[in-house]
Structure 1
Amino acid sequence: MIARTWHGRVPSEKAAAYHAYLVRTGLNDYASTPGNQGVQVLQRTDDGVTHFLLITFWESMDAIRSFAGADWERARYYPEDDEYLLEREPFVTHYEVLARS
């Protein structure tokens, strides 16, 4: 299993709206991609900025490519992301999952 992590930052006053937007866009796309085995959404607020850390779980690199495309190490963004995000981080990180309970 492979974990794919993505990080984004939004102004704290937009955090709830951004989370709802994530559910409609990215989380919905993850769930509908064959080979996706779940997602965790983490949130932390610090000095007026809310950080989102998404950890998606995939059965294989082929499944990740089905979601992300040929340039699978690049972050995937949606049309309205710029209304929320303070910047677009260009890359995601992948990890081999050694244990999950």
Structure 2
Amino acid sequence: MIARIWHGKTSAKKFDDYTEFLKKVAVPDYNKTDGFISLTFLKRLENNEGHFTLITFWENLDVIKNFAGEDFEKAKYYPEDDNFLLEFEEKVLHYEVFA
């Protein structure tokens, strides 16, 4: 199993709206992907910024490539993210889950 970790940042003003967007759009999108196992979304406010960390779990790297594209280390964004995010981190992290 592979864990894929992404981080995003919003203004505090858009924190709640982005939370709702993620629940409405991103979570269902992940859930409909074959080979997707589960996800954990984390959020916190710090210094007037909202931080979001998404940890997704996948069967293997081929499944991630089906979701994210051949350059699977590249972060995947939704068009609506332009309305919320302060920056677009280019890469995500991947870890092999062993326990």
Supply the distance in 1 between the matched residues of 2:81 and 2:44 (Cα, whole angstroms).
Answer: 18
Q: What are the residue-to-residue correspondences of 1:1-80 with 2, within 5 Å?
A: 1-80=1-80
User: Which deviations, in whole Å up to 9, do the C-alpha atoms of 1:64-84 show, x marking residues without a partner?
Assistant: 011101111100011110110
Q: Percent identity?
A: 48
Q: Provide structure 2 residue ranges, at least 5 long, that are not aligned to the other structure.
A: none
Q: CA RMSD in A?
A: 0.8
- Determine the C-alpha separation between the residues in 1 that align with 2:25 and 2:87: 18
TM-score by length of 2: 0.95
Give secondary structure in 1 for the equivalent of 2:78. coil
Query: Structure 1 stretches (4+) deviating beyond 6 angstroms?
Result: none
Aligned to 2:79, the other structure's residue is in SS state coil
**Could you tell me how far apart the structure 2 residues matched to 1:49 and 1:16 are?**
11
TM-score of the pair, normalised by structure 1: 0.94
**Equivalent residue pairs, number:** 99
* Residue ranges of structure 1 left out of the alignment (5+ in a row): none
Q: Distance in 1 between matches of 2:25 and 2:65?
A: 17
Structure 1 residue identity aligned to 2:92: V
User: Structure 1: how far apart are the matches of 2:35 and 2:49?
Assistant: 33
How far is the alpha carbon of 1:24 from its aligned partner? 2.4
